[in-house]
Amino acid sequence: MQAFERLCPAGPGWALDWAAVEREFAWVRRLAGVPQDPVHHAEGDVLTHTRMAAQALAALPQWRERPRAEQVRLFAAVLLHDVAKPDCTRHDGERVTAHGHSRRGELTARRVLWELGTPIDWREHVTALVRHHQVPFWALERPDLEQIALRVSLTARNDDLALLATADILGRVCADADTVLENIDLFREYCADLGVLDRPWEFASDHARFMYFRTPGRDPRYAAFDDTRLTVTVLSGLPGAGKDTWLAAYRPELPVVSLDAIRAQSGVDPAGDQRAVAGAAHELARGHLRAGRSFVWNATNVSRQHREICIGLAAAYGARVELVALEAPGPVLRARNAARPAPVPNAVIDRLIGKWETPDVTESHTLHRLDTNDRVLHVIPRSPVA
Going along the chain from its start, the domains and CATH numbers come out as 2-194 (1.10.3210), 230-371 (3.40.50.300)
**297 half-sphere exposure, CB direction, 13 A CA radius:** 35
Could you give the CA distance from residue 381 to residue 363 in angstroms, rounded to a whole number? 19
Angle between helices 145-155 and 158-170 (to 10 degrees): 100
Helices and strands of the chain, counted as H and E runs: 19, 7
Residue 20 has, within 13 A of its CA and on its CB side, a CA count of 10
Main-chain dihedrals φ then ψ at residue 366, nearest 5 degrees? -130, 145
* Pairwise CA distance, residues 309 & 290, whole Å: 17
pTM listed for this prediction: 0.93
Question: pLDDT in tens for each of the 386 residues of the chain?
Answer: 799 999 999 999 999 999 999 999 999 999 999 999 988 899 999 999 999 999 999 999 999 999 999 999 999 999 999 999 999 999 877 789 999 999 999 999 999 999 999 999 999 999 999 999 999 999 888 899 999 999 999 999 999 999 999 999 999 999 899 999 999 999 999 999 999 999 999 999 999 999 999 999 999 999 999 999 999 999 999 999 999 999 999 999 999 999 888 887 877 777 677 788 888 889 999 999 999 999 999 999 999 999 999 999 999 999 999 999 999 999 999 999 999 888 999 999 999 999 999 999 999 999 999 999 864 434 444 444 33
